[in-house]
Amino acid sequence: MPVTQPVLPGSSPDSRLASALLLKLVATGVVPTDTWDELSPSDQTQIAAAVDLASLVEALAVRRLLTPYQALRIRAGAVNGLVLGNYRVLDKIGAGGMGVVFRGEHLTFRTPVAIKALYVDGQKHRRSVDRFFLEVRAVATLKHPNIVAAVDAGEEPAAGPDGQAVPYLVMEYVPGSTLEDLIDRDGPMPVARAAAYAHQIADALTESHRCGLVHRDIKPSNIMIGPNGLAKLLDFGVARLPATTDRMTLDGAHLGTVGYMAPEQARNPRDVDGRADVFGLAATVFFALTGHMPFLPPGGSSTAKSLPSIREFRPELPAVFDSVLSRMMALDPITRTPTAAAAMRELAQFLGWSGQNPTPVTIAFPTARPTGPAPEHRGARVLIVDDEEPIRRVCRIALQHEPVHCDEAGTGPDAVASAMSHAYDLILLDVDLPGLNGELVLRKIRQQPPSAHLKVIMLSGRTPGDDLSRLLAAGADDFLTKPFSVVQLRSRVKAALRLKDAQDRSDLLTNRLAASNGEMERAISARDGELIHARGAMVLALAKLVERRSSETGAHLLRLQRYCRVLAEFAARTPAFADRLDPAFVMAIEAAAPLHDIGKVAIPDYVLNKPGRLTSDERAIMETHTTAGADTLAEVSARYPFATGFFHTAVEIARYHHEKWDGTGYPDRLSGEAIPLSARLVAIADVYDALRGRRVYKPGFTHEAAVAEMLDRSPGHFDPALLEVFRQIPGQFDRVFRDAVD
**pLDDT for position 8:** 45
Cα dihedral across residues 600, 601, 606, 608: positive or negative: positive
Going by pLDDT thresholds of 50, 70 and 90, the confidence category of residue 634 is: confident
Q: What are phi and psi of 649, to 5 degrees?
A: -65, -40
% of the chain exceeding 90 in pLDDT: 16
Q: CA 693 to CA 732: how far, in whole Å?
A: 17
The closest alpha carbon to 509, from 377, 648, 374, 612, belongs to: 648
Q: CA 668 to CA 655: how far, in whole Å?
A: 9
Q: What is the pLDDT of residues 446-466, one digit of tens each?
A: 877 888 889 999 888 766 656
Q: What is the pLDDT of residues 300-310, one digit of tens each?
A: 444 445 677 88
The closest alpha carbon to 346, from 321, 314, 318, belongs to: 321
Q: CA 195 to CA 352: how far, in whole Å?
A: 9
Q: What is the CA radius of gyration of the chain?
A: 35
| Contacts with 542 (C-beta within 8 Å, 6 or more apart), sequence order | 595, 598
- Overall pTM > 0.85: no
Q: Is the model's pLDDT at 239 over the cut of 70?
A: no
**pLDDT for position 1:** 44
Which parts of 84-220 fold into alpha helices (H)? 126-139, 179-186, 191-210
Q: Is the model's pLDDT at 144 over the cut of 60?
A: yes
Q: Cα dist. 367→202, 227, 229, 364, 721 in Å?
A: 21, 8, 7, 9, 39
| Contacts with 739 (C-beta within 8 Å, 6 or more apart), sequence order | 562
Query: In terms of DSSP bridges, do strands 455-460 and 426-430 run parallel, antiparallel, or are they unpaired?
Result: parallel
| N-term to C-term CA, the chain | 96
Mean pLDDT calculated for residue range 254-269: 77
- CATH number of this structure's domain 178-348, picked from the four choices 3.20.20.70, 3.40.50.300, 1.10.287.90, 1.10.510.10: 1.10.510.10
Is the pLDDT higher at 286 or at 576?
286
Q: Where are the domains of the chain?
A: 1-77, 78-173, 178-348, 380-484, 505-739
Alpha-carbon dihedral of residues 403, 408, 412, 414, nearest 10 degrees?
-110
| Contacts with 725 (C-beta within 8 Å, 6 or more apart), sequence order | 567, 570, 571, 574
Which parts of 29-82 fold into alpha helices (H)? 33-37, 41-48, 53-62, 68-75
Domain 78-173 has CATH 2.60.40.420: no
- Quote the crossing angle between the two packed helices 555-571 and 583-592, to the nearest 10°: 160
- CATH number of this structure's domain 505-739, picked from the four choices 3.30.200.20, 1.10.3210.10, 3.65.10.10, 1.10.357.10: 1.10.3210.10
The closest alpha carbon to 337, from 347, 327, 324, 323, belongs to: 327
- CATH number of this structure's domain 380-484, picked from the four choices 3.40.1390.10, 3.40.50.1970, 1.20.1250.20, 3.40.50.2300: 3.40.50.2300
**pLDDT for position 238:** 53
Beta strands in 386-522 (DSSP E): 404-409, 426-430, 455-460, 478-481
Q: What is the pLDDT of residues 14-63, one digit of tens each?
A: 888 888 888 888 888 899 888 888 888 888 888 888 888 888 889 898 89
Q: Are 685 and 651 in contact (CB under 8 A)?
A: no
Q: CA 419 to CA 350: how far, in whole Å?
A: 29
Q: Is the model's pLDDT at 284 over the cut of 90?
A: yes
Q: Are 629 and 655 in contact (CB under 8 A)?
A: yes
Q: Cα dist. 433→43, 411, 423, 437, 445 in Å?
A: 74, 6, 22, 5, 15
Is the pLDDT higher at 492 or at 516?
492
DSSP letter at 147?
A: B
Least confident range of 201-210, 275-284, 637-646: 637-646
Q: Are 269 and 254 in contact (CB under 8 A)?
A: yes
Q: What is the pLDDT of residues 88-97, one digit of tens each?
A: 999 998 776 5
Q: CA 124 to CA 347: how far, in whole Å?
A: 45
**pLDDT for position 305:** 55
Least confident range of 366-370, 431-435, 653-657, 738-742: 366-370
Average pLDDT, whole number, for the chain?
79
The closest alpha carbon to 401, from 455, 371, 364, 376, belongs to: 364
Q: CA 451 to CA 154: how far, in whole Å?
A: 52
Mean pLDDT calculated for residue range 557-584: 87
Cα dihedral across residues 414, 418, 419, 424: positive or negative: negative
Q: What are phi and psi of 534, to 5 degrees?
A: -65, -40
Q: What is the pLDDT of residues 326-373, one digit of tens each?
A: 899 988 899 999 998 888 888 877 876 655 443 333 333 333 333 333
Q: Which H helix or E strand runs over 190? A: none
b/e code 304-338 from CB counts within 10 Å (16+ = b): beebbebeeebeebbeebbebbbbbbbbebeebbe
